[in-house]
A and B are shown apart, each in its own frame.
Chain A
Amino acid sequence: MAREGNKTISQLDSSISTGDRVIAWPRMGNIDLSMEALVSSLGAKIVMPPPNTNKALEIGVRNSIEGICLPYKLNLANYIMALEKGANTLMMFQAPGSCRFGNYTKMAQKTLKNMGYKFDMVVFDMYQSKMKQTLRAFWHISHCLNPFRYYKGFSTGFNKAFAIDTAERLLFYTRPRELNKGDAERCYKKWYKIIKETSSILGCKGLKKRVIEDFKKIPIDKDKIVPKVYLLGEFFVLLDPYTNQEIEKTLGDLGVEVQRQIFFSDWLEHVLQPSLFYKKESHRERCVRYAQDYMKRAIGGECIETVGDTVYGARNGIDGIVHIMPFSCMPEIVAQNILPKVSKNEDIPILELVLDEQTGKAGNLTRIEAFIDLVKRKKLKKERNKELV
């Protein structure tokens, strides 16, 4: 029984010379902006896989096994499309111990090799010594010796992530309150383009401020009663607009302010910063604290975040929770089992949406509309009771 576990670090393949490397990574929300800034500042060539569409999903489904979860299918499709476009180095991070996610790279490597592609997969293992692993991976793909370039890459990458996430937060706030329909969306799209094109360090540092100023100019109805809804669930589905069928937009158009707890930039900050410099309570720690009554231990994936945020939201004036997950996601199924009790004890309505390649948009829309009606009625009742008192 006593034996040592797997201490093997992902082996790095050096058969491709640095100059010939063409780098690609799977798509996930706005991760492209930061990665592009970082990799291009290190002087490597990039190929972007086309955005996730039905066609991509079809390729992914065709080449992967039946039982695996949706994110893998899309990741695999991204790899295949990127390899077709000429990429030869694939980047991916992995976190062993969470769920099936830790096995993605292994599976993908085998599948792609079987399909006859030649490539080098660079994997960052996000279990411990994350910064070291990350630096090692980037050194491997670029062999860049100039520390200024690393500084530039990380600085612009981080700031772009912060800026785009701020823009997204403001979009969620503004969309239900805007007076002229479509203003917020247009503003967001404009800033997405600007953030993508900015490349200087100073320019990127100022982005966040400029985004906030610009969003403030949009005329909004400040007195409108807007119910607030938390969007929780699995990391990938939350961040990928194709997979979640732009649920934020749907909710916003229905007159609801969406708040998402998981943002790429928050996660980056929490994961990459050494714990010495990270003084304030991280999102995860807060979740563990709030989930205490329902869960004693973390069980991998985002289960404890989902439960903790639900409790946090219920105690801080949130009106409803929308919980989204890919079909057969193991940690989220545990969360799904726990949430009914949370909903009852904390008096908060919860909508569960399970997404997979067969999900129809219309059916989900009906459910979302019904749920929002419920949330709104509850909110109005609360407001009226307040007035009476």
Chain B
Amino acid sequence: MESKTTPKTIGIPRAISYFSNYPFYYGYFKGLGIEIVLSDKTTNATINNGCKHVVSDTCLPIKVFIGHVINLLDKGCETIFVPSLQSSAYKVNNCSKIRGLPEIVRNVINRKITIIDPEINKTEGISFKDFCLDIARRFDIYDSETINSAIKKGWETYNNFHKMTVAGLSYKEALQNALDGNLVTKPIEIVKPLSVVIMAHGYNLFDERISMGLIKKLEKMGVKAYTSLNITTEQAYDSIKEIGEIQYWANELELTGTAAYYMLNNRVDGIIALSAFGCGPDSLMVEEVQYHAKERGMSMIHLNIDEHTGEAGFVTRLEAFVDMMMRKKRKQIMSSDVINLMHTAVAISKKTNTKAEKSKEEVIKI
């Protein structure tokens, strides 16, 4: 009886799956007629709040997630969406901490809280449809037509978002447009002297406090940064196969897939790996990519972050890496045939010029 009288609102923490799946959640919950309350953007206070509740060995993104949950509780929202994303395909599992996220939240927070913890586990046969139905059931929605149309709306927003990011819009712009229901494809691409690919989880990279504005910083240095959002899932999946690896982690597409795609197509000058300290999957994936990058002679840097990371040290390492890439590129251009080609081109143009002048003179003579 109680659940029917409560207003239908759901709190979504701005962490973990928010960054890759929020367009879907937005469309889906809107379709179901549920109001969404978002937590505030990550600040130092969020991280400190999170650190107070979990053990110190836990990685930074989880600490941030707990901080966001507390932020939502402080706002007065007691129904909180904590999905358990167990596996994305047969035998392709997620990190244990993401799989056990509802378990951590349930046991760590000692306040009144209702956790909506739908599960998706394709290894054990719990499909995406079950995931959606489970959410609807918690809000006493059983009408299959409403649910189906909501799922459709969710996918629409999600697909629009991805179309825009693949076309080259930044994360923020694409998200804003997708939520407004627009589909913008920007044809202009600014050419920068250098380009890198960042291999990182969405929740590390697009959270501006965690990544310390990495993309913006790179842009200021004259570096174009490609991320996992700039390629399609299929491209990422095929690239993993092409470099001879097997997808083991559910979020391997975001990291190995992206890095592999740009490495194979030779579209970047370097790879930046950004991972949280103590991240299990990253420790393996970064190593894998490092091995392939070494084989191909591609420069790579591994930036580790945790709640104590200072910005100054971070920037210094980044600057050094960019400088190195710049020098490498200059050297490549100097030593390559491009210079010779240019010399010959100049010579040829001179010759033709003199010929033309001669012919002119001849004409005048005649």
Contacts and interface: CB of A to CB of B under 8 A. Distances in A.
Interface residues of B, number: 42
Interface of A: 1, 3-8, 65-69, 96-97, 99-100, 102-103, 106-107, 110, 127, 294-297, 299-301, 303, 327-328, 330-331, 333-334, 336-338, 340-342, 352, 354
Contacts of B107: 294, 337-338, 340-342
A331 B96 contact: yes
Contacts of A1: 233
Contacts of B93: 96-97, 102, 300
Interface stretch (B41-49, B83-91, B174-182, B221-229): B83-91
Contacts of A337: 54-55, 58, 104, 107-108
Contacts of A294: 103, 106-107
Contacts of A297: 84, 86, 99-100, 103, 119
B87 A97 contact: yes
B102 interface: yes
Given A297-B84, A328-B57, A107 B284 contact: yes
A297 B86 CA distance: 10
Q: What secondary structure prevails in chain B residues at the interface with A?
A: mixed
Nearest to B119: A297
29 contacts: A4-B89, A5-B90, A5-B123, A6-B91, A67-B283, A67-B284, A67-B287, A100-B284, A103-B284, A106-B248, A294-B107, A296-B102, A296-B103, A296-B117, A297-B86, A297-B103, A299-B99, A300-B93, A300-B96, A303-B96, A328-B278, A330-B96, A331-B96, A331-B100, A333-B96, A333-B97, A334-B104, A337-B108, A341-B107
Contacts of A69: 280
Interface of B: 54-55, 57-58, 84, 86-87, 89-93, 95-97, 99-100, 102-104, 106-108, 117, 119, 122-123, 233, 237, 246-248, 278-284, 286-287, 291
A127 B87 CA distance: 14
Contacts of A106: 246, 248
A328 B107 CA distance: 20
Given A67-B283, A297-B99, 15 more contacts: A1-B233, A3-B89, A5-B123, A6-B246, A6-B248, A65-B284, A69-B280, A96-B248, A103-B284, A297-B103, A330-B96, A330-B280, A331-B100, A337-B55, A337-B107
Contact of B57 (A4, A296, A342, A354): A354
Interchain residue pairs A-B with the least CB separation, the first 9: A67-B283, A5-B90, A5-B89, A299-B100, A330-B96, A334-B100, A299-B99, A338-B107, A331-B96
A97 B96 contact: no
Nearest to B109: A341
Contacts of B108: 337, 341
A324 to B, nearest CB: 13
